[in-house]
Structure 1
Amino acid sequence: MLQGFKEFITRGNVIDLAVAVVIGAAFTAVVGSIVDGLVNPLIGLLFNADSLNTAMILQIGNAKFTFGAVLAAIITFLAVALVVYLVFVLPMNKYREHQAAKIAAGEPTDEPPTETQLLEQIRDLLAEQRGVQQGRHTD
């Protein structure tokens, strides 16, 4: 059981995922502070409040509805999603399109061949060797 856990935890994709989560959390903190420190106060000016978090508060009895805080959370989420898209997703999509165009044009790519491609190359080389060896026997 411990050996299986050790293999699972040392797999490359698990470590990559852990790194991505840590970087994502730090990245979210940076974008969140930009939204909290710049965007929310600017929007708060429209509502004559310190920030968006303190704007649009509705109090009915003891219940306090903070619509501004909800709107601030939505803005933070959209800002993080936009930056992630522009920094990570869009460049990766462009890279994949570029690689697909290279493959379609028959140019060599930066990516290593897949296992299937390697096996096909080995098969073709072995068939070629057999053909050459059979040609020698008939001479």
Structure 2
Amino acid sequence: MLKGFKEFIVRGNVIDLAVAVVIGAAFTAVVTSIVNAVINPLIGALFNAETLAEALPVAIPTVSGGESVMYFGAVIGAVLNFLIVAAVVYFALVVPINHLKRHAEQRRRAGEPVVDEAAAPTELELLAEIRDLLAKRDGATP
């Protein structure tokens, strides 16, 4: 079981996923800040509230005779936050990647190499080069 876990960790996808989560959290914090500091007050002003989080209040009577307040403006703010994050991800990541995939497919169909010949070496090529350099340094032949 531990061998399988080690292979899972070393595979590299976990590191990529961890980086994506950290970057996503940082980006979400920026978007949330923009929504809370700029967009919410603007929309809140339309509803005569200080912020969107306090807009569209609905009072609900409680069993004890008091009342509880639901703020539907906060839900609208969360939806706006989600839509902004989704739009940025779509236009900054999905659209360019789809464009690159279409371009690569067109090159493949035309019989051209998909990867530029001046592209950086692959991991396998780099590892082979490192192996050869280490063997050369130690006096052995690869």
TM-score (norm 2): 0.74
Q: Percent identity?
A: 57
Residue-by-residue CA offset, 1:65-106 (whole Å, 9 max, x unaligned): 110001110110111100110111111011101111111111
- Tell me, yes or no, if structure 1 residue 101 matches structure 2 residue 106: yes
1:22 deviation in Å?
A: 1.2
Structure 1 unpaired stretches of 5+: 113-139
Structure-2 residue corresponding to 1:80: 85
Structure-2 residue corresponding to 1:116: none
Q: Alignment RMSD, CA only?
A: 1.5
TM-score (norm 1): 0.75
Structure-1 residue corresponding to 2:14: 14
Q: 1:91 aligns with which of 80, 90, 96?
A: 96
- Tell me, yes or no, if structure 1 residue 50 matches structure 2 residue 50: yes
1:37 deviation in Å?
A: 1.0
Aligned residues: 112
The SS at the match of 2:107 is helix
Structure-1 residue corresponding to 2:123: none
User: Higher Cα Rg: structure 1 or 2?
Assistant: 1
1:75, 1:49 → 2: CA distance? 17
Structure 2 unpaired stretches of 5+: 62-66, 118-142
Structure-1 residue corresponding to 2:124: none
1:59, 1:87 → 2: CA distance? 41
1:2 deviation in Å?
A: 2.3
